[in-house]
Amino acid sequence: MIKKYFPNFLLLLAVVALNTVTYYAIPETYDRLHLNKLMHFLGGFGIALLFSTYFSHRLNHLPALDFFLIIVGYTMLVGICWEFAEYSARYFPPIDHYFYIGDLTDTLRDLLSDLFGGFLVALHLLWRRQA
């Protein structure tokens, strides 16, 4: 199982490293290239993959709609918790500079990016299950 998912893990790690370097080295590029949305999409994608892999023995026996809603719902739960952490960070000065605290529009776009990542994973897994 490790050999199967290790290349994907390395790719995800490379994207996170590139995102971090870009954010700290060239701050205006981070907003111009919308890397925040890319990271939220990849976060939703990764959480959905992690959840579906970890609970595959329970999820594979569910009907398609239940399978889809559970994966997307869990992805949204993690996305909402992350947005809550971003919002709460403004009250803790030592960690305040690690988070970008945007407005309502930014929060909704972040949640939509998380949702889209989980949505694609759920659709892909359903497609593979039927094939």
Segment 62-87 shows an average pLDDT of: 92
> Tokens in use for 93?
């000065």
Top pLDDT among 38 and 90 is at: 38
Interval 105-122: pLDDT, tens: 888 999 999 999 999 999
What is the pLDDT confidence band of residue 30, given thresholds at 50, 70 and 90? low
Top pLDDT among 37 and 32 is at: 37
Give residue 3's pLDDT. Answer: 63
Q: DSSP string covering 10-70, please?
A: HHHHHHHHHHHHHHHH-HHHHHHTTHHHHHHHHHHHHHHHHHHHHTHHHHTTS-HHHHHHH
Interval 43-52: pLDDT, tens: 899 899 889 8
Give residue 70's pLDDT. Answer: 94
Total-model pTM? 0.75
Tally of helices (H runs) and strands (E runs) in the chain: 6, 0
Average pLDDT in the chain: 81
